[in-house]
Chains A and B, each alone.
Chain A
Amino acid sequence: MTDLTDLTVAEIRDGFRAGDFSAREVASAFNANVAAAGALNAFIVETPEKALEAADTADAARSSGDLKPLSGVPIGMKDLFCTQGVQTTAASHILEGFTPTYESTVSAKLWDAGAGMLGKLNLDQFAMGSSNETSYFGKVVSPWRRNDGDDAALAPGGSSGGSSAAIAARLCPAATGTDTGGSIRQPAAFTGISGIKPTYGRCSRWGTIAFASSLDQAGPKARTVRDNAILLEAMAGFDPKDATSLDLPVPAWEAGLSSDLKGKKVGIPKEYRPDGLDAEIAAVWDRGIAWLRDAGAQIVDVSLPHTKYALPTYYIIAPAEASSNLARYDGVRYGQRELPEGAGLQDMYAATRAAGFGAEVRRRIMIGTYVLSAGFYDAYYTQAQKVRTLISRDFEQAFTQCDLLLTPTAPSAAFALGEEQDDPLAMYLNDVFTVPASLAGLPAMSVPGGLDAQGLPLGLQIIGKPLDEQSVLNAGLAIEERSGFVARPGKWW
């Protein structure tokens, strides 16, 4: 019998319903893989018992006939989603030992849909990073390795690096991610899987630890486009507890999947092809264009003139919001408290936050505090919000000429751990292609486009109009069907 951990979410769901195997068999198989993958450090907390508990419920439901959409499917939960009774840390020391008394809306929806939890996945601390090296609980190591023989440990991407590594290594068939500037898409590209960030407001932010409120958006990651559609249907939906949640019905994305793109126009933004764009990235992009044309889409050239300003805009707005969102971590009501001998309240704050936050988090809080401080607010923050308006208008303009945009997901394949650590700016540049869609709140997805010469996966990004996740998924499916991407990392861990 086939290895259950090689199955997709759809295959597990259907095979379980067909009686080919039990939910407990599936959960046990993934639990075993998780237990054996300590070398990847993909999980901060493992919860095999929760996976089995959900599996037994599913097995019982199958005999009694009241199955839910995700009955029998175990998944990984990014440790940014608060889970009742299970430690939730955002990969930060400051929240070490914090056990929520509540369940985030997104995770609750997944459990209500019958899914089981394999554990809490590692990430960049407070989702700030593109390599998963800023976690207090240690780096996540990508299961992928270059084919050049040297066994350099590679970055799984970030911030949802635990999610991408775990899926690529078959530790879970799917996982949740969050995307503020590319944290779902870039790690997906680095690890040869798919992931979608829906339109801002589709998934409730309630109970998800905030990084930058106007950008944060949850989404799924999995090996196939169909699996992403299935997961997103369960995660999305109006939540009155989130004032920015969109009060709209959730489309039947899985049922709506079609790789026939006849009548669709796909725009190719010229600003995404700067001089010195990596030749292999340019090549995979060209292959993607050919595949979409083959699927019936018409290809048009478009321009997004303010693209070069997206990253600097992001690095003002995101840190500004973060500096305020992270003010609540003060050692008073929960989490770590650092209380030096004879310290007063303000000393306690400073000591707690210095010891509790990692270097990158402290750096971003400092930047955010500075750009909001007296005398600089207008020059930095207000200016950035105006440029953000222009970036958003660029997309509106482009979407008068096309229905979708196709770009590379990241400017390079996975880099080695430590390679870009000491240069924050170089690290930030990883998100150059993913940040613009985040600033405009648009749905965007990364799907595998092939391998580079070193045998590492490269991703293609599809950006859609607001609320048009369906077209994004469909274009992703068209690429998936044509790329024939079946590569997987050889097991070394």
Chain B
Amino acid sequence: MTDSTYRVQGATGEWEVVIGLEVHAQVASEAKLLSGAATAFGAEPNTQVSLIDAAMPGMLPVPNRECIRQAVRTGMAIDAQINKWSRFDRKNYFYADLPQGYQISQLYHPLVGEGALDISLDEKNPDAEVKRIGIERIHVEQDAGKLMHDQHPTRSYVDLNRSGVALMEIVSKPEMRSPAEAGAYLSKLRTILRYVGSCDGNMDQGSMRADVNVSVRRPGEPFGTRTETKNVNSVRFVMAVVEHEASRQVDVLEAGGKIVQETRLYDPDRNETRSMRSKEDAHDYRYFPDPDLLPLELDDAFLEECRQSLPELPDAKRRRYQEDLGLSPYNAATLTADADTARWFEALLAEGAKAQKKSESNVAKASANWLLSELYGALNRLGKSLDDSPVGPADGAELLALVANGTISGTIAKQVFEIMLETGAKPGAIVEEKGLKQTSDTGAIEAAVAKILADNGDKVAQYKAGKEALFGFFVGQTMKAMQGKANPQIVNELVRKALG
């Protein structure tokens, strides 16, 4: 555990920032939490709306099992206590994006209780600076609809496609102390959600939004009054909100003012937060158990299936990459930071082990280096990502095998890879066709060496006179003469022999 030393320097001295995040994550499901309407992103307005989502008279909710299952699996992924008895409550308030006049949520008995996740503050060495951030609860609730204010001079338009989509509200404890910690927490949470598959984590599409609770205090003193900045939709913005809200609060306090507990809105263009008028008087939500829904009781079989279906999680995977595969902490962290990368890497390992008839740990280092340097470099150049990479894991593994078994040198491998990227051809085929196999034909190499020595009598003399550094020159010249296709060891032997 490390304590952040992040401080806001005020005119009157140092201030500590206290941050808690309430993350709303859209549950990955085909249908909505309490109706059979679809959840797909970007449909025509009000086409993914059932009579239930529109709160027509007499309509009733029935919960979607998959949404409950995904929330439970998420809870298990953060070592949280799963409540076998939970309940849906109604949160009552009036707003045009809330057709029922209440949001079906869980206040008194949430589905998931206390858990935690570890954030790393030094990406070069993930285990160096780890901080455990407590998670208060995860509850399941309905998303609201969408209002559009710019379509009409005097009216706002209401689209209920999102209305009733399942959300997990993941509430952290106020245990973050710097923008960096807040950012690391959100990234780590998104990584876990993507591993578990309970949320696609696409913040730009709104599948993940954070309500950022910020307060400041003199180091060591009790918590100050907090503000909640709603629906911040990127890691960068969350960090910006913390910075700006913290310094704003410090200015207010040092000017002798008071912080009002309020809901604020972040404006990315102006890079500032402002008070949200529409939520002003919404502070008495009159929560009570939803009488349309009985208590939610989960049996052991259900929980067992949730547990069984959990994948290896990022921290476990990273440690395995370090300990079993011998990867550097940095490489292990980079490869596990995102579920798709890890999946690609593990495919590359499997193919590599097959191709080279070795254990995965034996091919791991080379595979990791190639993926992170060669492949990533090429993809950046081409503006592509792993999932639309022109070279797949099997081809990558074949290329690495050709180097490992001495068929081609590393230098040639680079050429072959370029051709693979352009043509999509198999590395073996390219080596054959272009005749890039490296030779161990001593006759040919001896001939080349003899010619080099003959052409450079002066240098031979200097070498014999003790200028040993020239050895590399003769080797290089020989390799050049062989167009890089000679086996380096053999060249070395023969040059040394010829120089006597």
Residues of chain A whose beta carbon lies under 8 Å from any beta carbon of chain B = 81-82, 88, 90, 95, 98, 100-102, 104, 205-210, 212-214, 240-244, 320-321, 323-324, 326-328, 330, 332-334, 345-346, 349, 369, 372-374, 377, 381
B61 close to A (CB within 8 Å): yes
Q: Quick check: B288 and A328 within 8 Å, CB to CB?
A: no
Q: How far is the CB of A343 from chain B (nearest CB, A)?
A: 11
| Chain B residues positioned under 8 Å from A332 (CB to CB) | 96, 99, 158
Give the CA-CA distance A346 to B100 in the complex, in Å: 15
Give the CA-CA distance A209 to B58 in the complex, in Å: 4
B294 close to A (CB within 8 Å): yes
Q: Which residue of B lies closest to A201 (CB)?
A: B294
From known contacts A324-B101, A349-B94, infer whether A205 and B57 are also in contact, taking CB-CB under 8 Å: no
| Chain B residues positioned under 8 Å from A243 (CB to CB) | 60-63, 292-294
Q: How far is the CB of B334 from chain A (nearest CB, A)?
A: 47
Q: Quick check: A328 and B96 within 8 Å, CB to CB?
A: no
**Nearest 9 pairs between A and B by C-beta?**
A327-B101, A213-B291, A372-B286, A214-B291, A328-B55, A207-B58, A209-B57, A374-B284, A243-B62
Q: Quick check: A330 and B94 within 8 Å, CB to CB?
A: yes
Give the CA-CA distance A244 to B294 in the complex, in Å: 7
Q: How far is the CB of A296 from chain B (nearest CB, A)?
A: 39
Q: How far is the CB of B28 from chain A (nearest CB, A)?
A: 23
Contact pick for A206, options B59, B90, B94, B156, CB 8 Å: B59
From known contacts A243-B60, A328-B100, infer whether A101 and B51 are also in contact, taking CB-CB under 8 Å: yes
Q: How far is the CB of B61 from chain A (nearest CB, A)?
A: 7
Give the CA-CA distance A104 to B55 in the complex, in Å: 14
16 A–B contacts from the bound complex (CB under 8 Å): A88-B57, A98-B57, A100-B57, A102-B51, A104-B58, A210-B57, A213-B292, A241-B62, A243-B293, A324-B288, A327-B100, A328-B57, A330-B94, A333-B56, A346-B94, A373-B286
Q: How far is the CB of B137 from chain A (nearest CB, A)?
A: 20
Give the CA-CA distance A90 to B57 in the complex, in Å: 10
Q: Quick check: A82 and B284 within 8 Å, CB to CB?
A: no
B92 close to A (CB within 8 Å): yes
Q: Which residue of B lies closest to A370 (CB)?
A: B286
Give the CA-CA distance A320 to B90 in the complex, in Å: 11
Q: How far is the CB of A365 from chain B (nearest CB, A)?
A: 11
| Chain A residues positioned under 8 Å from B59 (CB to CB) | 206-207
A242-B60, A244-B292, A330-B94 given. 10 additional CB < 8 A pairs? A82-B57, A98-B57, A102-B51, A240-B62, A323-B286, A324-B101, A324-B286, A333-B55, A349-B94, A374-B283
Q: Which residue of A lies closest to B285 (CB)?
A: A374
| Chain A residues positioned under 8 Å from B101 (CB to CB) | 324, 326-328, 330
| Chain A residues positioned under 8 Å from B158 (CB to CB) | 332
Contact pick for A208, options B58, B94, B96, B156, CB 8 Å: B58
Q: For this complex, into which size category does the number of interface residues on chain B fall? A: 20 to 34
| Chain B residues positioned under 8 Å from A345 (CB to CB) | 95-96, 156
| Chain B residues positioned under 8 Å from A205 (CB to CB) | 58, 60
Give the CA-CA distance A208 to B292 in the complex, in Å: 13
Q: Quick check: B58 and A241 within 8 Å, CB to CB?
A: no
Q: Is the interface of B mostly helix, strand, loop or mixed?
A: loop
B402 close to A (CB within 8 Å): no
Contact pick for A241, options B60, B92, B294, CB 8 Å: B60
Q: Which residue of A lies closest to B61 (CB)?
A: A243
Q: Which residue of B lies closest to A90 (CB)?
A: B57
| Chain A residues positioned under 8 Å from B283 (CB to CB) | 374
Q: Quick check: A327 and B61 within 8 Å, CB to CB?
A: no
B102 close to A (CB within 8 Å): yes
Q: Quick check: B56 and A102 within 8 Å, CB to CB?
A: yes
Give the CA-CA distance A333 to B101 in the complex, in Å: 12
From known contacts A213-B291, A324-B102, infer whether A372 and B57 are also in contact, taking CB-CB under 8 Å: no
Q: Quick check: B58 and A212 within 8 Å, CB to CB?
A: no
| Chain A residues positioned under 8 Å from B90 (CB to CB) | 324
Give the CA-CA distance A351 to B458 in the complex, in Å: 105
**B residues 280-309 touching A (CB-CB < 8 Å):** 283-284, 286-288, 291-294
Give the CA-CA distance A209 to B56 in the complex, in Å: 9
| Chain B residues positioned under 8 Å from A242 (CB to CB) | 60, 62
Give the CA-CA distance A323 to B61 in the complex, in Å: 18
Q: Which residue of A lies closest to B283 (CB)?
A: A374
| Chain B residues positioned under 8 Å from A321 (CB to CB) | 291
B54 close to A (CB within 8 Å): yes
| Chain A residues positioned under 8 Å from B102 (CB to CB) | 324, 327
From known contacts A82-B58, A104-B58, A209-B58, infer whether A377 and B99 are also in contact, taking CB-CB under 8 Å: no
Give the CA-CA distance A373 to B286 in the complex, in Å: 5
What does the 1/0 interface line of B197-214 toward A look like (CB < 8 Å)? 000000000000000000
Could you say which of B51, B92, B99, B286 has the most chain A C-beta atoms within 10 Å of its C-beta?
Answer: B286
Q: Which residue of A lies closest to B51 (CB)?
A: A102
Give the CA-CA distance A374 to B287 in the complex, in Å: 9
Q: Quick check: B99 and A328 within 8 Å, CB to CB?
A: yes
What does the 1/0 interface line of B25-57 toward A look like (CB < 8 Å)? 000000000000000000000000001001111
